[in-house]
Structure 1
Amino acid sequence: MDAPNRPIIPPAPPVHARDLPVWKLVRGMTSNIAGVWAERHFDELTTRGRVLGQDSILLGDPADARAVLADRSGTYARPAAFIRPIRPLGGAGVLLAEGEEWKRQRRMLAPLFSPTRVGDLIPHFAAAADNLVSRLAGQGRANLSAEFHRTALDAVMRALFSMQVDDDRSGMAAMVRDYIAGPGRPTVFDGMARHEHDFTPWVGGRRRRFQKAWFAQVDALVAERRAAGQPGHGDLLDLLLAARDPETGEGLDNAEIRDQCATMLVAGFETTSRLLFWTVYLLGLDPIEQARIRAEVIAHPPERVNSLEDLAAWPRLRQTLFEALRLYPPVAVLIREIKRPVTIAGHEMKPGVLAWISPWVMHRHRKFWDNPTAFMPDRFAGKPQAYLTEEAFLPFAAGPRICIGASFSIAEASVLLARLLTKFELSLESEVPVIPVSTVTTAPDHEPWFVLTPVSTA
């Protein structure tokens, strides 16, 4: 293969010369929000406009965005348009809880994701990685998007329930992905809704049916795991069952256990499988960077990784994961509705105005990144916790509601990808560009096939 031109500029939706007309903007918001932006959004720090009849402000300055996300005064709230498609996936779990209820849940769940606890889960990630490599052995080509979805589910099932994915359980991954691609996609009616339970033609019934079926699956997993015997598996369910509110001493009831498990399942495999896909897609475009990472993980093989501290031996791998998260953030837009008068970026905002924060835009903003559309992992060199230290980097949001499972996701992806790269060289079978499509998560517009070439052990 000829050496690629460097740096690599991966394909992306076009940036428009001018703001889209309303009808195109509305269509884009429900089909691919990564494709609705104009040139000025990547140059200006604040832009005003109207979206679906509501005054809106796009905050491009990281300081303004972080101030909104960090606010604890009740000045901002997540609008119904965000909550409605997500509720069937996580119920009343920590992702959607608000106010004092969210604080209680966060207090109880934080110990589950401490560095020590996440480090204890690495053997589960390694077992899922071994299953992936075994499935791929001798194949020659693979749809890695589909493989990663099953493998990420396997990893989180092991970490949460000490169960591996069999043929019956693998259907859960397809169930969630079908929901996200179908009734879970935001609609114009979601955008128009002022309350979570406002009427939604067509998709409301499908969402309710999905939630009933999805929760039944999760309840069955919890019941099966509980029936297996006393605690001692060393998994997240053990910790959930033992969790107590440090202020009241109370535990989680059955419905809360179910909702937290549902949230962890979706967050643990859907977003991580997308991260894995986009990372290998970038490495398929850039075999030079792929070879550098392979040399790094062969020098410190996955078998020697037993804690989060051990992952420090793979700095290039971590940098590449961060660059994949920058170019393809799991969630392209965060929206907050202003509930009381406030000044943002020098603008007087009234209640009802929507404050938009777009990781997609901010991660490609020309004021904050050198060559922002290019794949350049070295931009994160020496920044092992870039999602905490880089102002314009918001893959896991920010503030008190920053994703509680960020270190879990990075550790899971690191172990799975390292194991894969020690066994195979990966190249794209076709030169057809893969375009990111952002609705609930950032997904590929099609699932390309990869050629798998076994790595020589000589």
Structure 2
Amino acid sequence: MTIATRATKTVPSPPTRGFWGNLSQFQTEPFRFLSDVSSQYGDIVKFRMGPIDFYFLNHPDYIKHILITNRKNYHRDRKFLAEATPFLGQGLLTTDDEVWARLRRIAQPVFHANQMANYAAMISEATAAYIKRWQVAANTNQVLNLKDEMLHLTLDIVAPTLFGANVTDEWQTFIHTVDVLQAEVARRLITPITLPLWVPTSGNLQTRQALQTLDRMVFAMIAAYRQQQKQEMNLMNALIQARDQATGDSLSDREIRDQILTLLVAGYETTASALSWLFYLLSQHPQVEEKLRCEVESMLGNEPPTYQDIPRMKYTRMVIQESLRLYPPIWIFARSPLQPDRLGDYEIPANTVVYISPLIMHRHPEFWSNPHEFKPERFDPALESTHSELAYIPFGTGARSCIGRNFAMMMMQLIIPKILQEYRFHLIPDFQVKHQFDITLHPQDGIYMQVESVG
């Protein structure tokens, strides 16, 4: 398939239902709806939710065009900006053009490859310290909610490593508040008409209170860091030391708050989601788990994983890649064309919304054999890849791919072996894992596991 100019065809569409179109189908079961329309109508589908037209694109060529070749024509859609900006402010996820480019330049050195080794020891140490508490659950046959445990673990890592922040009991409030706001933003994104936050509804009052809680915590973090005058190579220091190239002005505390909140939430919440799904998959595929354990034992023994061990842990990386294929944390994202565009035989009007879903793309039968099967060997570096490069986009692609992708992969490659050296998880009998399609894809009611000590 190529992007070329040919006679225009009508974009296929599923039947709509009155003024709201396909809204109820998408709201109720978004994964099933997008899977069904893709299967029935092809790799480009138009559907309507209320007064807004959406174009769902599910082919690597389309993804390349939107996110790489013609990316300057595609900005964050207005609905996303309207609903996410009150939460995240003017951060990397909510800005475009020069504002985004400036923020990216400031943050990029912190995620450079030569910094990864400096972070690795902190990650291993924090992981070992946190998972010690699971020994009590193992000794007493208690049940753990893996979702909650991974959220706390990754926050214990990200907060001090990237922001020099001491993790306290108050971080539980932070996690709960982010969870409330993420669900609210996701709800508003799929609701065509929403009331602005200044309208004093009960939901808006709760949202405003949650935003105040986040602001209090993040501004306190900034103030404490400024007072200590640390000179560490981390994101907090990079933001405080940054200067505008034209004016020499530094970032205000509000601007720093927006970057911290964006990257802190992205850093811990998405990684926690990925780890939760991975250990769930291992609990359902004992052969994969045993092969993974064998690699950990042969490569590490009882020694904690280090940065130097990562390249040798090939199967660990394969398992992570396959888990991210089946459960990409950012399961969908949207763009809006500034000018009309053309994709092959089809025209995309300006100011509509284009959806791309890694979750659906990663299960496309044209590019993945047995796409619903958990098979880490797909990513064996010794074998020739059988999938198109842009059929696999767990971190996005192009200039706006996830800035922390290498940091996130390193976190998982250090966390997973350490957990496997100490514990084994068993899904409790008859527990049904449900999917929650918020901004990130995570287990709706958690994943409840019994933990067994293997040390």
Residue 394 of structure 1: how far off its partner (Å): 1.4
Aligned to 1:103: 101
Letter in 1 for 2:153: T
Provide the alpha-carbon RMSD of the alignment: 3.0
For 1:187, the aligned partner's letter is R
Q: Is the 8 A contact 1:108 1:245 kept in 2?
A: no
Question: Larger deviation: 195-204 or 322-331?
Answer: 195-204
Go from structure 1 to structure 2 and tell me whether the alpha carbon gap of 1:184 and 1:46 turns closer, same or farther (over 3 Å shift): closer
Aligned residue identity for 2:207: R
Q: Does 1:434 align with 2:433?
A: yes
Alignment-derived partner of residue 260 in structure 1: 259
CA distance in 1, matches of 2:376, 2:319: 5
Please identify, of 54-63 and 273-282, the stretch whose mean Cα deviation from structure 2 is larger: 54-63
Q: Deviations over 1:63-104 (max 9, x none)?
A: 211211125664222223222342244211112121111111
CA distance in 2, matches of 1:27, 1:290: 39
User: Match of 1:34?
Assistant: 31
Q: 1:156 maps to which residue? A: 158
Q: Return the match for 1:125 from 111, 119, 123.
A: 123
Q: Deviations over 1:363-418 (max 9, x none)?
A: 1111111111111111111189x9x9821011111111111011111111221222
Could you tell me whether the CA contact under 8 Å between 1:89 and 1:266 is conserved in 2? Answer: no
Q: Secondary structure at the match of 2:331?
A: coil
Aligned counterpart, 1:279: 278
Q: Could you tell me which residue of structure 2 aligns to residue 451 of structure 1?
A: 450
Greater mean alpha carbon deviation, residues 268-277 or residues 354-363:
354-363
Question: What is the Cα deviation at residue 201 of structure 1?
Answer: 6.6
**Residue aligned with 2:170, SS:** coil
1:266 counterpart letter in structure 2 = V
Q: How does 1:47-446 map onto structure 2 within 5 Å?
A: 47-70=45-68, 74-140=72-138, 141-181=143-183, 183-187=184-188, 190-192=191-193, 203-227=203-227, 229-244=228-243, 251-301=250-300, 303=303, 305-307=305-307, 310-382=309-381, 390-446=389-445
Q: Shift in Å at residue 32 of structure 1?
A: 4.7
* Partner Cα separation in structure 1 for residue 189 and residue 112 of structure 2: 39
Task: Give the whole-Å Cα distance in 2 for the aligned partners of 1:115 and 1:75.
Answer: 30
Partners in 1 of 2:123 and 2:238 — Cα distance? 18
SS of alignment partner, residue 49 of structure 1: strand
* Cα distance in 1 between the residues matched to 2:125 and 2:65: 41
CA deviation after TM superposition for structure 1 residue 447, in Å:
1.8
Question: Judging changes above 3 Å, is the alpha-carbon distance between structure 1 residues 36 and 107 closer, same or farther for their aligned structure 2 residues?
Answer: same
Contact 1:323 1:375 in 2 (8 A): yes
Deviation of 1:336 (Å): 1.5
Task: Decide whether aligned partners of structure 1 residues 113 and 248 sit closer, same or farther in structure 2, where only a CA change above 3 A counts.
Answer: farther
- Once the two structures are superposed, what CA deviation does each residue of 1:212-263 show, in whole Å capped at 9, x if it has no partner? 3212210101212222x33234433223323456777654332222211111
SS in 2 for 1:310: helix
Identity of aligned residues (%): 26
Please, which moves more after superposition, 355-364 or 245-254? 245-254
Q: SS at 1:137's partner residue?
A: helix
* AA at the equivalent of 1:151: L
In 2 relative to 1, CA 221–362 (structure 1 residues): closer, same or farther, beyond 3 Å?
Answer: same
Consecutive unaligned residues in structure 1, runs of 5 or more = 1-17
Aligned partners of 1:33 and 1:439 also within 8 Å: no
User: Aligned to 1:404, what secondary structure does the other structure show?
Assistant: coil
How many residues are paired up?
433
- Normalising by the residue count of structure 2, what TM-score does the alignment of the two structures yield? 0.86
Q: Distance in 1 between matches of 2:82 and 2:27?
A: 14
Distance 2:209 2:344 in 1: 43
- Residues 75 and 192 of structure 1: is their aligned pair in 2 closer, same or farther, counting only changes over 3 Å? farther
- SS of 1:184's partner is helix
Query: Could you say what secondary structure the match of 1:300 adopts?
Result: helix
C-alpha contact 2:78 2:336 (8 A) present in aligned 1: no
Question: 1: CA distance between counterparts of 2:358 and 2:239?
Answer: 31
My pick for the range that moved more, 429-438 or 353-362, is 429-438
Deviates more, 1:40-49 or 1:129-138: 40-49
Moved more, 351-360 or 36-45: 36-45
State how far apart, in whole Å, the 2-side matches of 1:285 and 1:42 are. 27
Please state how far the C-alpha of 1:109 moved relative to its aligned partner. 1.3
Instruction: For 1:160 and 1:304, locate their aligned partners in 2 and report how far apart those are by CA, in whole Å.
Output: 21
Offset of residue 151 of structure 1: 0.8
Match of 2:5 in 1: none
Taking the aligned partners of 1:196 and 1:106, their CA distance within structure 2 comes to 29
In structure 1, C-alpha distance between the alignment counterparts of 2:198 and 2:358, rounded to whole Å: 28
Is the 2:44–2:58 Cα contact (8 Å) retained in structure 1? yes
2 CA distance for matches of 1:61 and 1:389?
10
* Farther-moved stretch of structure 1 (409-418 vs 64-73): 64-73
AA at the equivalent of 2:36: E
In 1, the alpha carbon distance for the partners of 2:168 and 2:62 equals 46
| Residue type at the aligned position of 1:344 | L
